Every structure is written in structure tokens, then in C-alpha cells.
Structure 1
Amino acid sequence: MAPARTPRSSIPWLTAAVIALIAYGSLYPFNFKPDAQDGLLAALSQLSWARAGRGDRISNVLLYLPLGFCLYLWLNERLRRGPAVAIATVLGTLLSLAIEVAQVYVSKRVPSLTDLALNSGGTLLGAVGGMGWAALSYLMHLPARAEKQTRDPGAALLIGLWLAWRFAPFVPQFDLGKLKAALRPLFDPTFDFITVLIFLTCWLVVNQAVAALVSRPRRLETLLLLMAAVLIGRLVVASQTFVPAELLALLLLLPMVVLMHRLRPRPRRASLVLAVVSLLIIEELAPFDFSHQVAHFDFWPFLAFVENGWDLAAVDWVQLFGKFFLYGALLWVVREWGASTDFSFGVMLTVATVVEVLQIWLPAEHASITDPLLALIVGLIFRSLYRHQRPRRFAGTAGDLSLRER
């Protein structure tokens, strides 16, 4: 089986970004010792087999996983699997050795051969993961049903809303020395099945949006870049930790993408419609503890924002962009299914309104006109984009999160 070809334009840049992230996080805050050792041999003599804690061991492995993954994809364009894995591991080991030697000259850093071994193991595991990605992605390039790629403006908007949701509240955090703290939830991960399904559904929608924007040979590369952007953005821009449920969803994503790729267009899009409707119901109504007592429905939109004196700092940007994405996703997948823009708009607005009205019987929720109004705003934006376009038709030819937790 021939190795899957990854477009060369972006993987080297992604590899360079991972190396820069590792170097910055390992050497921050660059407070070099004035009385450091002279010469390379003297620096190497400072390395010891110092024992590391469980958290440090896990973080050292996880830190180099992306490096091994990217190096393998880069090398696999030129080499066979075995040499690509071996060379990727050697390069990761050399980078780790260089970092450990550099830490001899940095205060509050403990250079260690144990870290070197763990980093090498992480690189190897990442390279094996890259080999699995390449093997599965090969299935995406087999002859299959032809679908015309449409340069869909709604798909571009949807991806933009997804990135805005994941990067909110847009607070830059350049102290990458806190990388280990961001990895801490992965030391003892717990997975909620529903949350994993929510993340997986969102990423499948994002994948379908990518398919509407880029040509087939570049789809997986674009999806990979979006995954990297979200994970790095969560650390650098959103100032939040990694979510184990999202990482598990990303591991399940490519097999699901291959499975969806094998379906005909109509059942694939129908399954996305059903998944997004289910996601919205779960988001707004879970855990479904309805009461017989009817609560008040607030007809004044954005009441909390007004009560805080129109203070933008009081806005829950994560919640806001999450709703924008989910409503936009529902409209977009219904339109992808073959419906008109106006019909898709109506379905989305109806679902948003019905779900909000049902919250009257949920004691823990606050029913308000705000969410239907947000759905109306999203619908009007999508409608303006599609003013002169028709929905996709079915050819019939053969041939990508709980808002409360983020």
C-alpha cells in the first residue's frame, strides 16, 4: 500500500510551530544563569537520571507526541513507514537532548536524562499515531463518489464561528511555561460519554464544512491544521486547559470521517442533521429534570447584559459564540441536506424557540427570548450569504461540547 501523500505546503510549517512551542515552553522565562557551565561536555555532565513525578512523566510524553506526529507526516512524503518512524524518533530525541542541555544554563530548570527518555518515547508514540493517520487517510483518497466542491460561504462562516467559540474569551496568554498546568487534566482523565459525542458531532460538522470549501486532496490537511489551531489556541488565546473529552473525540474523528466518507451524500447529511438537533436538545434541556411548575418566560432580551450596565466584560463570550455556532450548524446542515435557505432558516428558528419554551419547565434554567433572537440573527446572516445561491442537490451518483463545561 502506497503511503498517503500529505500536501507539502503546510506540514513543515506546523512542525516548525510545534518545535517553537516545545522550545518556548521548556526554556521560559529564559533567565539564563550567569555562572553556568562552560562547554558542551561540562553541560552534558550535569544531566542525571533524576526521578520525576507522575505528572512530569506524563507531560513529558504528551509534549512530544505532536512533534512525532508531524515529523512522521513530513518524512512519509519521502520515505517508507519504517525509516520515517525511526528518523522522526531520532530527530525528536536530538531536539530533546538540545533542550535538556540548554536547561543547564536556565535557572529553575532541572535537566534530566529521564526527561530525555520520556520525550523520545513521546516522539515515537506520536510517529506511530502519524502512521495510523496516514493509513486511514489513504482510504479517503480511494476512488469514490464524486462530489462537487462548492466554495460555500456559509461553510466558511461556520468554521469561523467554531474557532471563535473555541478561542473565547479571547484573552492572550503567552506564558507557555504553563503548558504542564494545561496538561494536568490529562494526568488523571475522566470522560463523559455525552461530552465526547458533543465534541465529535461538532468536529464532524466542521469536517463537512471543510469538504464544502477545499478540494478532496487537501481536506485532511485542512482538518489537521484546524485541529492544531484549536488545541494551540485553547492554550495560548483562551487561557484554558486541554479537555480530555475533546482529545478523545479527536482520536475518534478520523475513523468517523472515513466512515462518513463511505456513505452516500443524502444519508450522510441526514445523519448530521439528526446529530446537530440532538446536540441542541442535550445542550439546552439536559438533564431533562422537568417540573410541573411553570416558570417565568423573560420577553426582555439580553437582560443580564443590560443589568450590568452594557458592560462587554460581563458578556459570556464562550456561551454566546457556542450558541451562534450551534444554530448556524443546524441551519447549514439542513441546507446541505438539500433544503432551501428559507426552509433551513425556519427549521433552525423553530427548534431554537421550542427548546427555549420547554425550559419554562426546567427549574435550573432561565427561559428567555434571547436565544431565539440569537438564532434569528444567525439565520439572517446566513440568509444574506445565500441570497443568490441555491442549495446543494443530491446527485445520487456512485463512484467536527457542553457549553456549561467550556
Structure 2
Amino acid sequence: MAPARTPRSSIPWLTAAVIALIAYGSLYPFNFKPDVHGGLFAALSQLSWARAGRSDRISNVLLYLPLGFCLYLLLSERLRRGPAVAAATLLGSLLSFGIEVAQVYVSARVPSLTDLALNAGGTLLGAVGGMGWAGLSHLMHLPARAEKQKRDPGAALLIGLWLAWRFAPFVPQIDLGKLKAALRPLFNPTFDFVTVLIFLTCWLVVNQAVAALVSRPRRLETLLLLIAAVLIGRLLVASQTFVPAELLALLLLLPMVVLMHRLRPRPRRAALVLAVVALLIIEELAPFDFSPQVAGFDFWPFLALVDSGWNLAAIDWVQVFGKLFLYGALLWVIREWGATTDFAFGVMLSVATVIEILQIWLPAEQASITDPLLALIVGLVFRSLYRHRGPKPLAGAPGNLSLRER
């Protein structure tokens, strides 16, 4: 019998994507000066220790963090931890040096040795983060040999809804101003404990879905690729920015995955069901300032769309896909717990309906039939996917993970 093939790593492709993003953000708008002459030494003579503003300094560090992270994961396959960190920092510094020299020939860009030092520091911090990720990953004891994985169509749909939520409104905006705007919330970060827990719960659901789709040796790498895709989307999609609470949740994510990986399947899945129910309650009813007066209930779905003359641009796609993901997540984790699809569907639809009825007593909310209708739609889609499948068996359950964005 032939030995199982080792799955190819996607880290080189992720590293290449990060390098391309850095080069684009550093050299945009590529309007090279026609009147600059001289070779390398002439360009080096124009580098100075000019000090940038606080926001630019933070941006220079943040931009190279993912590069150091990816380079460490790439180099750690051949080098020990210390040399891998040093080599990653050196390679990141060389890339930064090349870009700073290239900026000599680009209008409206200021080449600076200060930027080079900050980029090197960001690469070093990213490499240290990669070392921490790799160390925690080893605690999972994932096998090196891939086994045949039974695909879960509901898990694929759930990940698709998550990405649609994060990439809405699906309008790319690729320029330097957008990159800086996306990073701006990180210059003066504020953290809300509840928001961090919401993000963490959503990412734990995503991790659980990944575990239902890919073989065990590829789970953490696939999760890392999804995280990278979402974060890159925050840089490139119009009106989207980084959320400090989300980044903090991502720092807590792998330790939580390791912890939940060590739990037995039943309590692990039960904890995830309770977490998703709590998330929905907080999202829809917080801050729970109920009023004794009853407001109206809108029985006409998608009223904003109707009032706009069926203009699809008037729809808040972030909100729509967010609700679809949360309702789908509740149905899916209940089914993962061992319930039938119809039972999970009924519980999810009941929760959505009860929450919407309770919003009648919330002055800041507009109770509507729209949310239960969205829950019904996503439930019917899941039900069609699982039409010929039984409930999820409890034995040999995969690990957990989740997070959500506002």
C-alpha cells in the first residue's frame, strides 16, 4: 500500500500574497519620477532618518506583522525557532530596504530609514507571533497523515455565509487612502469585552465548520487562510476597517481552540450551542432596556427595499448576511450536537421569532417579520442540504472555533 501523500502547504502562497500587498501599498500610485537619475548609491544617498507621523509609524509596524508571521511558518519547517525568527526578520528587512530604495523613484513617497527600522520591528513581532502560533499548534497533536474526510455541505454553506458577511458590500477599493483608513481604528484602539466574546464565538463556529470539511492535518492551516482572507478583505473592501476587538479575539482564538480540542465532544458542542444562543440574544436585545409600552410590529418584510423602489443598493448587506450567518450557525451547531436537522431548524426558527417578538418592547429596535423570514430561508437551505443525512454522530467530534464582526 502506497504511503499517504503529505498535503501541500498553502503558506508559500499566503506569503506571496502578503508581499504583493506590501509592495502595492508601498509603491502606489506607481507614478515613477522621470527626472531621477543615478544607480543604487545615488538612491541610497536620498535615504534619511526623517520622522513620520504617529499614524504612519504604527502603519509601518502593522503592515509587516503578517509578513514576519508567514515567513516564520515557512522557515520553521527547515530551521529551529531562533534561526527561523532571525531569518524571517532579515528577509523582511531586505524587502523593506528594497521598497524604500524604490520609493526614491516614486512621486509623493518619502523614503526613510526610520520606516526601514519600523518595518524590521514589525517583521520581528510577526515572527514571534508565528512562533507562538506554531507552539500552540503542536499542543493539538494533529496527525501528519491525512485521512479521508466526509464533507459536510452545511459547514461549507456556513463558511460561505461568514465570508459573505465579512466581504459585504462587495465593492473593492484599492488605493493608499483606503489602506490607511482601514488601519486607522488601530491607532487608538478601544476594546469592549462583550464585542471580543462575540468575535471569538463566531470564529469558534468557523473553526468547527473547518473541522467538518478538511482533514485533521490541514485544519489549522485552513483556519489561518480564512483569517488571512478576512483581514485582507478589511483592507480592500470599501467602508470596511479593522476592528481592534476582532484582533484581540484572534489572539485568544488559538488558545481557545487548544482548550476546546481537549474537551469531550458532548460538552464541547453544548458549550458552542449555548455561546451562539447567547450571541444572538446579545446582538438582538442588548442593552435590554425594555419599555412597558408596546411598539408596532412590521408584518411587511424588507420594507426598506420596497420603499427604495426595489433598489438593491439600499439593502444593508452586512446586516443581512450577518443575520443569515448567525441563524445558520445556531442551526448547524445544534445539529452538530447530535440533533436532527428538523429539530435544529425548529429551535433556530423559534429563537429568531421569540427574539423578534421581544423587540416590540425595545424602543430602539423596529420589530419586523424580516428576521424570522431570513431564519426560515436559511433553515430551508440547510434542510435541503441535509435531506438524505441523519443527525451528526457524537463520537469523534472535531474541534471548536468562532467569531463575529459588527
Task: Flag whether TM exceeds 0.5 (same fold).
Answer: yes
TM-score, with length taken from structure 1: 0.94
Counterpart of 1:71 in structure 2 is 71
Counterpart of 1:42 in structure 2 is 42
Letter of the 2:338 partner, please give it. G
Q: CA separation in 1, counterparts of 2:280 and 2:159?
A: 18
TM-score, with length taken from structure 2: 0.94
Q: CA separation in 1, counterparts of 2:227 and 2:395?
A: 30
Q: Is the counterpart of residue 11 in structure 1 residue 11 in structure 2?
A: yes
Q: Per-residue deviation at 1:181? A: 2.5
Letter of the 1:296 partner, please give it. G
On the 8 A contact 1:32/1:106 being kept in 2, the answer is yes
Q: Is the counterpart of residue 308 in structure 1 residue 304 in structure 2?
A: no
- The 5-angstrom pairing of residues 6-405 of structure 1 reads 8-141=8-141, 149-176=149-176, 178-395=178-395, 400=402
Deviations 1:99-141 (A, max 9, x none): 0000000011110000000100100010000000000000112
Q: Per-residue deviation at 1:66? A: 0.3
On the 8 A contact 1:149/1:211 being kept in 2, the answer is no
On the 8 A contact 1:166/1:238 being kept in 2, the answer is no
Deviations 1:57-107 (A, max 9, x none): 111111100000000000011111111111101000000000000000001
Q: Per-residue deviation at 1:150? A: 3.1
Q: Per-residue deviation at 1:304? A: 1.6
Q: Per-residue deviation at 1:148? A: 8.7
Q: Per-residue deviation at 1:56? A: 1.2
Deviations 1:219-240 (A, max 9, x none): 0000000000001112213441
Q: Secondary structure at the match of 2:199?
A: helix
Deviations 1:294-315 (A, max 9, x none): 1111111111211111110101
On the 8 A contact 1:26/1:177 being kept in 2, the answer is no
On the 8 A contact 1:93/1:119 being kept in 2, the answer is yes
Letter of the 2:99 partner, please give it. I
Q: Secondary structure at the match of 1:38?
A: coil
Q: Which moved more, 1:261-270 or 1:148-157?
A: 148-157
Deviations 1:249-295 (A, max 9, x none): 11110000101101111111100100000000001000000000011
Residue 176 to residue 109, structure 1, CA distance change in 2 (3 Å): closer
Q: CA separation in 2, counterparts of 1:131 and 1:249?
A: 18
Residue 114 to residue 80, structure 1, CA distance change in 2 (3 Å): same
On the 8 A contact 2:202/2:404 being kept in 1, the answer is no
Residue 378 to residue 56, structure 1, CA distance change in 2 (3 Å): same
Q: CA separation in 2, counterparts of 1:18 and 1:107?
A: 23
On the 8 A contact 1:141/1:217 being kept in 2, the answer is no
Q: Which moved more, 1:169-178 or 1:60-69?
A: 169-178
On the 8 A contact 1:25/1:177 being kept in 2, the answer is no
Letter of the 2:356 partner, please give it. E
Q: Please give the root-mean-square deviation of Cα atoms over the aligned residues, in Å.
A: 2.0
Residue 243 to residue 52, structure 1, CA distance change in 2 (3 Å): same
Q: Per-residue deviation at 1:8? A: 4.3
Q: Secondary structure at the match of 2:139?
A: helix
Q: CA separation in 2, counterparts of 1:179 and 1:34?
A: 26
Residue 315 to residue 23, structure 1, CA distance change in 2 (3 Å): same
On the 8 A contact 1:37/1:104 being kept in 2, the answer is no
Q: Per-residue deviation at 1:395? A: 2.2
Q: Which moved more, 1:95-104 or 1:292-301?
A: 292-301
Q: CA separation in 1, counterparts of 2:382 and 2:404?
A: 24
Q: Per-residue deviation at 1:394? A: 1.7
On the 8 A contact 1:331/1:347 being kept in 2, the answer is yes
Q: CA separation in 1, counterparts of 2:265 and 2:102?
A: 53
Q: Which moved more, 1:300-309 or 1:352-361?
A: 300-309
Q: Secondary structure at the match of 2:24?
A: helix
Letter of the 2:199 partner, please give it. F
Residue 92 to residue 168, structure 1, CA distance change in 2 (3 Å): same
Q: Per-residue deviation at 1:385? A: 0.1
Q: CA separation in 2, counterparts of 1:29 and 1:255?
A: 40
Residue 187 to residue 247, structure 1, CA distance change in 2 (3 Å): same
Q: Secondary structure at the match of 1:86?
A: helix
Q: CA separation in 2, counterparts of 1:20 and 1:394?
A: 44
Q: Secondary structure at the match of 2:129?
A: helix
Residue 114 to residue 396, structure 1, CA distance change in 2 (3 Å): closer
Letter of the 2:285 partner, please give it. L
Q: CA separation in 2, counterparts of 1:242 and 1:104?
A: 30
Q: Per-residue deviation at 1:180? A: 2.4
Deviations 1:351-382 (A, max 9, x none): 00000000000001011111111100010000
Letter of the 2:245 partner, please give it. A
Q: Per-residue deviation at 1:49? A: 0.6
User: What percent of counterpart residues are identical?
Assistant: 87
Structure 2 unaligned segments of length 5 or more: list them.
1-5
Q: Per-residue deviation at 1:32? A: 0.5
Q: CA separation in 1, counterparts of 2:169 and 2:359?
A: 26
Q: CA separation in 1, counterparts of 2:15 and 2:252?
A: 22
Count of paired positions: 397
On the 8 A contact 2:290/2:361 being kept in 1, the answer is yes
